[in-house]
């Protein structure tokens, strides 16, 4: 009997597709429901942010950094601030560093909440998403009190942060943390250990530790493969050496090491760790100024520098070259989502179409961060 | 029905020489119109509102609450809006099939109402093949959905249509096999006959008649959810994967038809389960007045069905979606063999105890109560840990 002649189908997933988290595009070659390959096509959200930096000057670029990754804008703020400070040898006041850590860790929780919520929604459960968004709204309320914005914060400045914690804010933040700890348990009961959910995530999109390193994965995606690498611990910056916390790594409990479930669980555990850091930071925060004296016409000496911070999506690198004028000569941002997009093509072979959605969500790819 | 037609002729409304065939045709037409337009469509609309409210409560949102009291008239507003919208037919689509598909789906939703046993007298047609008719006409959906998927000339729609075909055809088998045990026990396919085989008390329901029927009821309910494209089996219209599946290219009223059928199918799923396993309209004989008894039976039937409808909404708001291979595995590897075992088991059971085993009814009922208590305790446990003020203010 001769085999039935079948053809591969080329599917165009995105740039407008409900689950591509913004404007991603994948060219999917599929044989029925099974994918042969999904080729990521980046560039739909390119806004020349790095070039803008060369035109608006050092202080003026801070609001633009929010747009690099609008889901965790605190980290991009902090990265830009730290790069400039390193170049100009500015010492940030202690309280300023603590404010940065507090804002950033709250932002990390918010970012991970969005990530795990969107992941559940991509798998078809809408309820966890709304619950996660509800919690994220409360964090947004706190951050709004801090800096007046809910999404593009523009909270940090070169040399510290724009505003000190408002009166009574510390108590509100602590009250929120008390409310947040049981929420994680509630969330786990709601979706994390759901049989269908685990079946959908376990053993899907398995990344070996060697692949993770070769493809330059960072952050939770890397740690889910069992590699303990967290910039906050390994190359400490800001006030992080003052705090004790653990770095959760994937253990392959539900399937193979480095599968989508591991990436999901690592994010859930990181939220708990962020809450631990926040409690310590809110308890230990020293008095004093929050902003170092920085010239209005900020001109760092000529030279170049590279800093790394642990963003919600992992190791974020800021590379800055100054020629001694009031405008940067070159700025480059190295983001986790761009690296994560690279491995999708390798992982996609043999997965189902439904799994591609899971894979994108589990790598926590955020469209603006890919293209800048 | 026949007595009704005789009464109409005897009342002389059509003159004394009226042809019985003509009168029958008119009566059937009017009755059908009342049931379809007065019950089926409003029910689908109201379910859409109820589902959005129930979902909203579960998801700690508010839901539609602006049109009418508690947003009750939202479904009418949505209907009017969708009627006013442009009916877009893509250039590349196969226009005649594209237009026809929603009507087939809605037809598959309307036809089962003909044998819907609301009470001992309220049934349009008590056919002797009632339950068989019900399962066959609901399967018409697959034709409409596949047609929509193919005629849209869109790859996402096509995948949705093919998924739907695979899913509905597969789950027809365990669903059909799970109906057999009840048919074997009653020896009839008629809806009223099956209900009359049960009593009003739970221990006389077929759900608790023997262990096999209990399993069959569960398989039938899950298969029915799969046939109705409900979560966790909503793959044909999986929003996060296939945009909107087979309905991607539809707009306006045609789009709404698919979803009206989906919402209305909840009632049909509930009605099938209620008829076969939950005693249908059975109610204790408390009055000799036929009208009163019929009203009580109507209430009995609807309470059971609406509980199942609510249960489906609850499931939809809770569970994520399975993958297509998992869906097929569940059907062919587990449901079909178990359904066959059920069938043989029931056959043996009926051979041993032709009149049923009353003691088993009580034991099963007690076991059912125990299960329910555990479940309710679990729910209460989580309710206590949740914030009541967020979840339990139904009148926001």
Q: Is the ipTM of this complex over 0.90?
A: no
> How is residue B36 annotated by DSSP?
I
How many CB pairs below 8 A link A and B? 85
| pLDDT on residue B386 | 63
pTM of the model: 0.84
Query: B364: buried, middle or exposed (CB in 10 Å: 19+, 13-18, 0-12)?
Result: buried
Mean pLDDT of A155-160: 87
* Sequence-ordered list of residues with C-beta below 8 angstroms from that of A214, at least 6 positions apart, any chain: none
Phi/psi for B77 (5° steps) reads -60, -45
Closest residue of A to B321, CA-based? A124
Check: CB of residue B274 under 8 Å from CB of residue B280.
yes
- Residues in A lying within 8 Å of B, measured between beta carbons: 9, 11-12, 17-19, 33, 120-127, 130-131, 134, 182, 186, 189, 191, 194, 196-197, 199-200, 352-355, 357
Phi/psi for A134 (5° steps) reads -60, -45
Chain B residues within 8 A of A18 when measuring between CB atoms? 239-240, 243
Distance from CA of A18 to the nearest CA of B (A): 6
Interchain contact, B321 vs A9, CB within 8 Å = no
Confidence band, pLDDT 50/70/90 cuts, at residue A72: confident
| pLDDT on residue A240 | 87
Chain B residues within 8 A of A9 when measuring between CB atoms? 155
Q: What is the DSSP string of A13-35?
A: E-SS-TTSSSS-EEEEEEETTEE
A316: left (phi over 0), alpha (psi -120 to 50) or beta: beta
The pairs formed by B66-73 with CB atoms below 8 angstroms and a separation of 24 or more are B70/B395, B72/B46
Chain B residues within 8 A of A11 when measuring between CB atoms? 155-156
Closest residue of A to B248, CA-based? A17
CATH code for the structural domain at A48-363: 1.10.645.10
Residue with token string 């029905």: B1
| pLDDT on residue B18 | 66
| pLDDT on residue A158 | 87
| pLDDT on residue A2 | 66
| pLDDT on residue B229 | 79
Calpha distance B240→B315 (Å, rounded): 18
Interchain contact, A200 vs B155, CB within 8 Å = no
| pLDDT on residue B12 | 65
Which of A33, A138, A198 should one mutate to test binding to chain B, selecting the residue with the greatest count of B CBs within 10 A?
Answer: A33
Residues in chain B, how many?
396
Distance from CA of B234 to the nearest CA of A (A): 9
Helix (H) or strand (E) holding A12: strand A9-13
Domain coordinates of chain B in residue numbers?
1-84, 89-356
Token pair in block for residue B303: 């309470």
Closest residue of B to A204, CA-based? B323
Distance from CA of B150 to the nearest CA of A (A): 15
pLDDT digits (tens, 9 = 90+) for B70-83: 888 888 888 888 88
Calpha distance A42→A25 (Å, rounded): 7
CA distances from B84 to B75, B87, B253, B263 (A): 14, 9, 8, 21
Check: CB of residue A279 under 8 Å from CB of residue A195.
no
* Residue in B60, B317, B320 closest to A197 by CB: B320
Residue with token string 């050496």: A241
Mean pLDDT of A130-157: 87
Calpha distance B130→B115 (Å, rounded): 6
* Residue in B159, B320, B382 closest to A123 by CB: B320
* Residue in B55, B232, B323 closest to A354 by CB: B323
Strand, helix or coil at A314? strand
Distance from CA of A108 to the nearest CA of B (A): 23
Calpha distance A337→A24 (Å, rounded): 11
| pLDDT on residue A20 | 67
State the CB neighbour count (10 A cutoff) for residue A155. 25
Closest residue of A to B386, CA-based? A186
| pLDDT on residue B2 | 64
Apex B110 CA angle, B108 and B113, nearest 5: 115
Which of B149, B249, B320 should one mutate to test binding to chain A, selecting the residue with the greatest count of A CBs within 10 A?
Answer: B320
Interchain contact, A352 vs B323, CB within 8 Å = yes
Token pair in block for residue B15: 């003159």
The pairs formed by A182-185 with CB atoms below 8 angstroms and a separation of 24 or more are A182/B385, A183/A135, A184/A268, A184/A271, A184/A272
Chain A residues within 8 A of B386 when measuring between CB atoms? 186
Check residues A50 and B121 and name the one with the higher pLDDT.
A50
Chain B residues within 8 A of A189 when measuring between CB atoms? 382
Closest residue of B to A190, CA-based? B318
* Residue in A127, A197, A352 closest to B58 by CB: A127
Check residues B7 and A204 and name the one with the higher pLDDT.
A204
pLDDT digits (tens, 9 = 90+) for A81-130: 888 888 888 888 888 889 889 999 999 999 999 888 888 888 888 888 88
Interchain contact, A124 vs B234, CB within 8 Å = yes
Interchain contact, A18 vs B239, CB within 8 Å = yes
> Does the N-terminal peptide bond of residue B334 adopt cis geometry, omega within 30 degrees of 0?
no
| pLDDT on residue B391 | 53
> Which parts of chain B sit beneath pLDDT 50?
none
Interchain contact, A124 vs B155, CB within 8 Å = no
Calpha distance A331→A349 (Å, rounded): 36
Chain B residues within 8 A of A123 when measuring between CB atoms? 240, 320-321
Calpha distance A296→A292 (Å, rounded): 12
Domain coordinates of chain A in residue numbers?
48-363
pLDDT digits (tens, 9 = 90+) for A255-306: 788 888 888 889 988 988 999 999 888 888 888 888 888 878 888 888 889 9
| pLDDT on residue B4 | 66
Check residues B29 and A20 and name the one with the higher pLDDT.
B29
Interchain contact, A126 vs B60, CB within 8 Å = no
Q: Select from A330, A284, A308, A298 the least CA-distant residue to A102.
A: A284
Classify each residue of A223-239 as buried b or exposed e, where b means 16 or more C-beta atoms within 10 Å of its C-beta: bbbbbebbbbeeeebbb
- Residues in B lying within 8 Å of A, measured between beta carbons: 55, 58-61, 155-156, 159, 163, 231-232, 234-235, 238-243, 317-326, 382, 385-386
């Amino acid at each position: 009997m001769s085999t039935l002649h079948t053809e591969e189908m080329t599917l165009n997933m995105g740039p407008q597709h409900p689950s591509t988290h913004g404007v991603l595009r994948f060219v999917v070659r599929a044989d029925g429901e099974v994918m042969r390959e999904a080729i990521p096509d980046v560039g739909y959200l390119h806004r020349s942010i790095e070039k803008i930096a060369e035109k608006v000057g050092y202080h003026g670029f801070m609001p633009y950094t929010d747009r690099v990754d609008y889901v965790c804008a605190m980290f991009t703020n902090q990265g830009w601030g730290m790069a400039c400070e390193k170049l100009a040898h500015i010492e940030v006041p202690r309280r300023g560093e603590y404010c940065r850590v507090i804002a950033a860790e709250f932002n990390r929780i918010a970012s991970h909440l969005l990530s795990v919520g969107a992941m559940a929604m991509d798998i078809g459960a809408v309820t966890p998403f709304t619950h996660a968004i509800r919690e994220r709204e409360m964090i947004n309320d706190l951050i709004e009190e801090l800096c007046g914005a809910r999404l593009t914060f523009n909270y940090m400045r070169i040399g510290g942060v724009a505003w000190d914690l408002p009166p009574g804010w510390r108590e509100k933040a602590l009250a929120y943390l008390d409310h947040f700890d049981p929420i994680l348990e509630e969330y786990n009961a709601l979706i994390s250990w759901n049989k269908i959910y685990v079946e959908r995530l376990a053993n899907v999109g398995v990344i070996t530790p060697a692949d993770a390193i070769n493809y330059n994965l960072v952050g939770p995606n890397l740690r889910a493969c069992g590699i303990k690498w967290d910039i906050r611990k390994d190359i400490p910056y800001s006030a992080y050496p003052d705090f004790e916390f653990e770095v959760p790594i994937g253990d392959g409990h539900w399937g193979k090491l480095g599968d989508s479930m591991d990436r999901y669980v690592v994010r859930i555990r990181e939220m708990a760790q962020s809450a631990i850091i926040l409690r310590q930071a809110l308890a230990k925060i020293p008095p004093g100024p929050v902003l170092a004296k920085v010239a209005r016409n900020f001109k760092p000496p000529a030279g170049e520098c590279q800093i790394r911070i642990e963003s919600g999506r992992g190791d974020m690198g800021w590379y800055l070259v100054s020629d001694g004028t009031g405008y940067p000569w070159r700025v480059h941002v190295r983001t986790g989502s761009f690296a994560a997009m690279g491995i999708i093509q390798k992982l996609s072979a043999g997965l189902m179409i439904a799994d591609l959605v899971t894979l994108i969500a589990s790598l926590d790819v955020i469209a603006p961060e890919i293209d800048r | 029905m026949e007595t009704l037609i005789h009464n109409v002729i005897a009342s002389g409304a059509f003159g004394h020489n009226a042809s019985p065939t003509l009168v029958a045709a008119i009566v059937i037409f009017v009755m059908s119109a009342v049931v379809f337009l007065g019950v089926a469509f409003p029910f689908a609309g109201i379910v859409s509102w109820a589902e959005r409210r129930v979902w909203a409560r579960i998801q700690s949102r508010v839901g539609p609450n602006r049109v009418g009291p508690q947003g009750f008239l939202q479904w009418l507003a949505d209907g009017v809006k969708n009627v006013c919208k442009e009916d877009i037919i893509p250039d590349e689509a196969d226009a005649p099939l594209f237009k026809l598909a929603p009507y087939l789906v809605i037809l598959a939703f309307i036809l089962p109402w003909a044998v819907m046993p609301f009470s001992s007298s309220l049934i349009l047609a008590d056919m002797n093949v009632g339950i068989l008719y019900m399962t066959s006409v609901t399967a018409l959906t697959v034709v409409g959905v596949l047609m929509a998927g193919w005629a849209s000339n869109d790859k996402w729609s096509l995948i949705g249509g093919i998924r739907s075909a695979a899913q509905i055809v597969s789950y027809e088998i365990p669903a059909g096999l799970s109906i057999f045990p009840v048919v074997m026990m009653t020896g009839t396919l008629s809806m009223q006959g099956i209900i009359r085989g049960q009593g009003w008390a739970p221990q006389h329901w077929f759900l608790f008649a023997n262990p096999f029927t209990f399993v069959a009821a569960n398989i039938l309910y899950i298969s029915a959810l799969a046939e109705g494209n409900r979560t966790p089996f909503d793959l044909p219209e999986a929003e996060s994967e296939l945009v909107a599946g087979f309905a991607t290219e539809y707009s306006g009223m045609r789009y709404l038809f698919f979803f009206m059928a989906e919402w209305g199918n909840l009632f049909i799923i509930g009605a099938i389960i209620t008829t076969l396993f939950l005693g249908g309209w059975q109610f204790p004989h408390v009055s000799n007045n036929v009208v009163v008894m019929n009203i009580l039976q109507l209430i009995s039937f609807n309470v059971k069905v609406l509980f199942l409808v609510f249960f489906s909404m609850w499931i939809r708001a809770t569970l994520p979606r399975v993958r297509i291979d998992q869906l097929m595995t569940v059907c062919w590897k587990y449901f079909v063999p178990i359904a066959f075992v059920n069938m043989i088991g029931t056959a043996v059971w009926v051979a041993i105890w032709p009149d049923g085993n009353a003691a088993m009814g009580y034991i099963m009922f007690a076991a059912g109560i125990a299960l329910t208590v555990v479940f309710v305790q679990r729910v209460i446990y989580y309710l206590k840990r949740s914030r009541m003020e967020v979840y339990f203010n139904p009148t926001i």
